């Protein structure tokens, strides 16, 4: 996801130490960077802080269980693939039937090579999707962003954006709900070599708000996350 990161990052959410260590070792042998969360609550915190590329999520966890973690991640960060780990075959019916949004599931006891193969397959899909046509058109509320035609519209009425304003908006809306720091936005939109300062981002956000928000002082779409940066409002924020 993040161009600077050479390795894909996987978060393993598993309360059983032995299984977590075993899975971590197996995925590290695959060249992946692996972090472990031991509870659902810890997982949500780590997902926010570490922004994994993929989540391996055990169903049976103390406190917030895997179903609840999956539901929350899907609402906030729909772009992160989730593989559910289940102990019982009947749970897989629930995962599929409830359409929780897990991308795949694997039943314990599992073959670690099969697990690694599933992880690799999903990460490959993710890379294809991020360069594919499906990510070129976004709709949020009455706002649409069409990357191919380079057109932004509110309620079907096109609005004039400069190229940088457009890129900034497209970057945020492509991963709506994700918080971007100013430095990351500078890199993504202005490029690694850009010598500007993070204030540049603030100025462009202000201008975008003037153009797309009904009330720029109380933005609905382009939200400030105090101390962290900016995000495009997640679906449930609207």
Site string for Ca ion, 15-54 (x = CB under 5 A): x---------------------------------------
Tokens at residue 153, please? Answer: 């519209």
Where do the H-state alpha helices sit in 102-230?
112-130, 163-174, 182-185, 199-212
Residue number, 15 or 142, with CB nearest to Ca ion: 15
* Interface size with Ca ion, residues (CB under 5 A): 3
3-state helix, strand, coil in the chain (%, to 5): 45, 20, 35
Site string for Ca ion, 117-156 (x = CB under 5 A): ----------------------------------------
Which one of 1, 33, 42, 60 is in contact with Ca ion (CB under 5 A)? 60
Please, is 49 exposed, middle or buried when counting C-beta atoms within 10 Å of its C-beta (0-12, 13-18, 19+)?
Answer: exposed
The H or E element that residue 146 is part of is strand 143-146
- The region of 58-66, 75-83, 123-131, 211-219 touching Ca ion under the rule CB under 5 A is 58-66
- The region of 46-54, 59-67, 92-100, 172-180 touching Ca ion under the rule CB under 5 A is 59-67
Angle, CA 130 vertex, CA 116 and CA 166 arms, to 5°: 155
Residue among 86, 118, 83, 89 nearest 101 (CA) = 83
Residue 58 interacting with Ca ion (CB under 5 A): yes
CB 223 within 8 A of CB 232: yes
Residue number, 58 or 175, with CB nearest to Ca ion: 58
CB 83, min distance to Ca ion, A: 14
Residue number, 33 or 60, with CB nearest to Ca ion: 60
Give the interface with Ca ion as residue ranges (CB under 5 A): 15, 58, 60
């Amino acid at each position: 996801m993040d161009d600077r990161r050479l390795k894909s990052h996987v978060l393993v959410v598993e309360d059983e130490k032995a299984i977590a260590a075993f899975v971590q070792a197996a995925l590290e042998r695959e060249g992946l960077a692996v972090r472990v969360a031991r509870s659902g609550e810890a997982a949500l915190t780590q997902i926010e802080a570490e922004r994994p590329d993929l989540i391996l999520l055990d169903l049976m966890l103390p406190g917030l269980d895997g179903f609840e973690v999956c539901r929350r991640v899907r609402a906030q960060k729909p772009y992160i693939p989730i593989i559910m780990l289940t102990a019982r075959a009947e749970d897989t019916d629930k995962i599929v039937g409830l359409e929780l949004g897990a991308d795949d599931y694997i039943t314990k006891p599992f073959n670690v090579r099969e697990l690694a193969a599933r992880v690799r397959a999903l990460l490959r899909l993710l890379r294809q999707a991020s360069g594919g046509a499906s990510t070129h058109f976004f709709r949020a509320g009455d706002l649409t962003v069409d990357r191919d035609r380079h057109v932004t519209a509110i309620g079907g009425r096109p609005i004039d954006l400069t190229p940088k304003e457009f890129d900034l908006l497209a970057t945020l809306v492509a991963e709506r709900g994700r918080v971007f720091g100013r430095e990351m936005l500078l890199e993504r939109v202005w490029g690694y070599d850009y010598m500007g300062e993070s204030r540049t981002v603030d100025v462009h956000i202000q201008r975008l708000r003037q153009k797309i928000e009904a009330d720029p002082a109380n933005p609905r779409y382009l939200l400030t996350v105090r101390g962290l940066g900016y995000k495009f409002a997640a679906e449930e924020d609207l």
